[in-house]
Amino acid sequence: MFYHIKELQYNAKPERPDPVYAKKLQEILGGQFGEISVMMQYLFQGWNCRADQKYRDMILDIGTEEIAHVEMLATMIAQLLDNAPIEEQEQAAKDPVIGAVMGGMNPQHAIVGGLGAKPDDSVGYPWTARYTIASGNLLADFRANLNAESQGRLQAVRLYEITDDPGVRDMLSFLIARDTMHQNQWLAAIHELEEREGPVVPSTFNTEYEKQEVSYSFMDFSKGNESKKGRWASGPSFDGKGEFEYISDPEAMGQIPILKPAPLYVHGTIPSDMPPPPSAH
């Protein structure tokens, strides 16, 4: 069960309207690594969790917090759009001062959203559930969560540095700090699961069925051999079950693919060694 309280988790008060920046801020709301994405990702991971209750509770704790972050960003975007009617955009071409402020505004903020935030990214692409990952394997999911928080914090930092509005920066500083915590949280959970299950996902697959000759071979498929200097090219593997080896100029191990001709009803190209059909004469 969820319930709502009127206060935001943290302040979301810009010093002044800025409809152009509102468009940019949409990225960490409705973009691939925005707050809507992590909110939905964590909630579904939690609702679907069949592992220990501590993991389910932890995932839903952070998923619920992300709802608050969505609300903060939507509130901030709406205030950045204050006093930005569509008529001012039409005047932008006539007045260079207005044009500098309004020319980069997302027109859908006025036409579709009524000066409110939208579940879109910064170029107007609608948020999609395809951004979310909830596989049922917590180690795989937590690694995806770490990536999401890493990308989200990176984007929030970039947005922080392209505004001088103290109110916007104050809100972003809070979100950036929470992303710091969440990255550390997922790292801790990943470490805990790796200690129990090992680093390779899934741990339940019988490795006898994989082609073990290439399980730890780093194959250099590009020009140059700088990659051989990496930790991934020599030494013990991180699962403790093998030794990395570096293979320069790896040989092809498969057959030359030759497909059977398609039947005539498919109307594909007829191979040169087949006679043309009667209708072709």
Identity of the amino acid at 252? A
Q: Say if residue 222 carries a ligand binding annotation.
A: yes
- The angle subtended at Cα 25 by Cα 24 and Cα 31, nearest 5°, is 90
Q: How far apart are the first and last CA of the chain?
A: 73
Cα–Cα dist 189/195, whole Å: 10
Cα–Cα dist 243/161, whole Å: 44
Q: Say if residue 124 carries a ligand binding annotation.
A: no
For residue 33, give the nearest of 217, 158, 136, 206 by alpha carbon: 158
Fill in the DSSP letter of residue 236: E
Cα–Cα dist 203/264, whole Å: 47
**Could you tell me if 227 and 240 are in contact, meaning their C-beta atoms sit under 8 angstroms apart?**
no
Q: Say if residue 61 carries a ligand binding annotation.
A: yes
**Could you tell me if 21 and 88 are in contact, meaning their C-beta atoms sit under 8 angstroms apart?**
no
Q: Say if residue 224 carries a ligand binding annotation.
A: yes
The three-state secondary structure class of 7 is coil
Q: At what angle do helices 53-80 and 166-197 cross, to 10 degrees?
A: 160
Q: Say if residue 57 carries a ligand binding annotation.
A: yes
Ramachandran angles phi, psi of 79, nearest 5°:
-70, -35
Annotated binding-site residues for Ca(2+) read 57, 61, 222, 224
Annotated binding-site residues read 35, 57, 61, 66, 69, 149, 182, 222, 224
Annotated binding-site residues for Mn(2+) read 35, 66, 69, 149, 182
